[in-house]
Amino acid sequence: MMAIKNIVFDFGGVIVELDTQRPIDRFREIGVADAAELLDPYEQKGLFLEFEQGKVDLETFRQRLSAHAGKELTIDDIYYGWMGFMRDVPMYKLEYILALRARYKVYILSNTNPVIMRWAKSPVFNPTGLPLTAYCEKIYASYEIGLTKPDPAIFEYMLRDAGMDPAETLFVDDSRRNVEVGASLGMKTYLPGNEEDWREAIGGLLED
């Protein structure tokens, strides 16, 4: 078995903890009655999916969601809704990832959008003032690539762009389907449970 040289983490649900009900409640609050049918912790639906695939920009998303809701929504409304997903940023995980970077190349592969990434890439991301970019070589964000997991093409794009050998790569994601696709492409994988402290498990896989 080839030694692991690269570690790819999902963002929401792995590095940061997600609240799956709060964004539904917030979007309903601002007038999106069918928010429960459009929002998903793994892959969005409809206009929300188009936003995470980069098919529409923030202003177009605002305009179309306003039309969908039947009322004028502001950019602040959009941020209020999307940021409902973000619940907690466990510092012990970020500290562990920083330690991993001394020995491995660390990447992030996330189904996400410019609202979430604006926050994650800013100094308010965590109490240390370090943005998410300080914890990895590169962030592969769905809205920038134009693809979302579990489409194998987004994995292939990342592997090609970073020059990663799948056999030397550990992929950590909280979606079973995403992990299955990663494994089918030759990566070693780990599926953490909800709010799991996965440090010991990851350490064990890296020692195998």
Counting beta carbons within 10 angstroms of the beta carbon of residue 12, is it exposed (0 to 12), middle (13 to 18) or buried (19 or more)?
Answer: buried
C-beta separation of 201 from 191 below 8 A? no
Sole residue written with tokens 């003032």: 129
Q: Using omega within 30 degrees of 0 as the cis cutoff, is the peptide bond preceding 150 cis?
A: yes
Two structure tokens written together for 166: 């799948």
Determine the length of the chain: 208
C-beta separation of 118 from 19 below 8 A? no
According to DSSP, the residues that pair with 12 across neighbouring strands are: 16
Which secondary structure element, helix H or strand E, spans residue 62, and what is its range? helix 58-69
Q: Which of 105, 112, 109 is nearest to 40 (CA)?
A: 112
Active site residue 10: yes
Pairing state of beta strands 17-18 and 86-88? antiparallel
C-beta separation of 23 from 35 below 8 A? yes
Catalytic residue among 10, 77, 173, 174: 10
Q: Which residues are identified as catalytic? A: 10
